[in-house]
Chain A
Amino acid sequence: MRILVCISNVPDTTTKVKFSTDQKSFDDGGVQWIINPWDELALTRAMELKEDASNPVSNVTVVTVGSASAEPTLRKALAIGADDAIRVDAVSSDAYFVAAQLAAVAGSGDFGIILCGIESSDYNGSSVGGMISEIMGIPSVSAVSGLKLEGEEVVITRDIDGGREELSVPAPFVGVVQKGIAKEPRIAAMRGIMMARKKPLQVVPAADAESYTSYKEFAMPEPKAPCKMVEADNVKELVNLLQNEAKVL
């Protein structure tokens, strides 16, 4: 079974967010780019599955949609352990456009498991994974916090109201993963970084697809009112404020 992990190339999570002077686009000057944190967890789990010899996983491929500037992020994924990488040569305009590109890649290979993070830390769309599955007409499972193989059977754990459930899903399918799928993202070792340079990174042209949405403008949030401090020996006052001012109790 082959696994495809969809990677979003996002600004480092500590980035101070800035926009262009007309407020219409993200200002990426001086930004460090990373693998979207949840995609990194998905990749980590994919590697764990492949490395366990009892699993029938033959190959882990990573894919991203982006310009050549996204390639260092793909190389990082290869250094973590992916066998090969694909870059769809296009500027991502919206979630549907990106999902259409990824669905075209996913459909062109014999992938049994297609993994995406639950959202990207830049535009927080939580959309691409579900869209890929609907475009391809295959099952999807969301909020996946556990994924294992029992022979050829894929068994997934997800959170539900009041607890969690295990379910079985036929391949091919899209798994949209969240925290729990892997404990911590794997860090590339020096040997992995050396090997990554020689691993195949294929560039494919964009498929024809439209955009469903477009960002018109960005703004910083309104400044928050300063925190109201309450003395540690006056918990009564805190409860009073929560009840009568914030009205949240």
Chain B
Amino acid sequence: MSVLVYTENWDGKFKKLSYELLSYAKSVATLVGGDVNALSIGKVNQDELSSLGNYGASLVLSADGTPSGLDNQVYTEIIAAAMDKVGARILIMAHNNSGKALAPRLSVRLKAGLAAGVIAVPESVNPLVVSKKVFSGKAKGKVEILTEKAVLTLSQNSFEINETAGTASVESFDSGVDLAAAATTIKDVQKQEGKLLLTDADVVISGGRGMKSGDNWAPIEELATVLGAATACSRPVSDEGWRPHDEHTGQTGKIIAPNLYMAFGISGAIQHLAGVSSSKCIVAVNTDKDAPIFESADYGIVGDALKVLPELISEIKTVKAQ
């Protein structure tokens, strides 16, 4: 009963989430008694492909034809073909933009029950039962997969990366899928140097009304640059037009689960917390010691974000330079 991991790369380098997925898959494969297979789509060099062995993969299928963009139907075909090829029973993907796009289609295609946003290794294998967050992190639920096959999407940062000394064999994989058959056509791409996808970012620096004005965002952006982070904001900030709407995180905005979430001048309304509470570590800086954000935060400073930020930037720069 083998497992297939759909890995993701950016410009030929595997994203960190790929290693998380493989480490998780290795634990699942140990439970079900099978191998971990990895699928890579796009141009990735041999060394990078075989490095997946260090995270538990025994076989890497490399579909190196490069579709021009994420066409959900084309990718679904390729991944379904890879599942057939290795005879896998469980498909593991990230609970991110592409996982959310593809996992539901693959669930239907493979007649495989989907547990989206799982947070731990299965507690039983026969039947397969996994835990996931529900009600935007306010509770957890145990989901039983009723079908023979399963698709699991793993919640970001919920599983530690385990390096092993394994080696993976790499095989070129021709899925037989016609890449030109994509129904969607990319018309325009706008990329900004250093602009990270907020929903996938490992570190997110966020500002709220306590930043006092949209003109005060330079230190937020500087801290984000220093930490290689994405920037976000609370709803009042995007409603005021201080920041673009696509930075709004919360119940009705983007839902994120970074490794580190730093909230400056955000009081932490329940709707905001619903969008960020899955973050692994939350740091809050707010002038109001009774602000609800401190109930969800791991580390807090009662103080003015505008005064704390410059000191924090300089201290982190010092530490990073060491």
Contacts and interface: CB of A to CB of B under 8 A. Distances in A.
Contact of A165 (B69, B143, B145): B69
Interface size range of chain B in the complex: 35 or more
B144 A238 contact: no
B104 A212 contact: no
Contact of B139 (A155, A176, A220): A220
Contact of A128 (B10, B72, B104, B109): B104
Contacts of B183: 139, 169-170, 173
Contact of A121 (B135, B193, B246, B253): B135
- The interface residues of chain B, by DSSP majority, are classed as mixed
Contacts of A104: none
Contact of A95 (B70, B114, B138): B114
Given A127-B114, A216-B144, A248-B259, A242 B105 contact: no
Interface in A155-175: 155, 159-170, 173
The 9 closest A-B pairs by CB, nearest first: A130-B104, A232-B303, A142-B101, A212-B113, A134-B108, A163-B191, A134-B105, A139-B183, A248-B260
A229 interface: yes
Interface string A224-249: 11011111100110110111001011
A38 B252 contact: yes
Contacts of A82: none
- The interface residues of chain A, by DSSP majority, are classed as mixed
Contact of A212 (B101, B102, B145, B192): B145
B26 interface: no
B97 A141 contact: no
Contacts, number: 286
Nearest to A212: B113
A122 interface: yes
A81 interface: no
A182 B135 CA distance: 23
B141 A218 contact: yes
A182 B124 CA distance: 42
A224 to B, nearest CB: 7
A87 B229 CA distance: 44
Given A131-B104, A170-B183, 10 more contacts: A13-B251, A96-B113, A121-B251, A124-B132, A162-B192, A165-B186, A169-B184, A225-B298, A227-B298, A232-B302
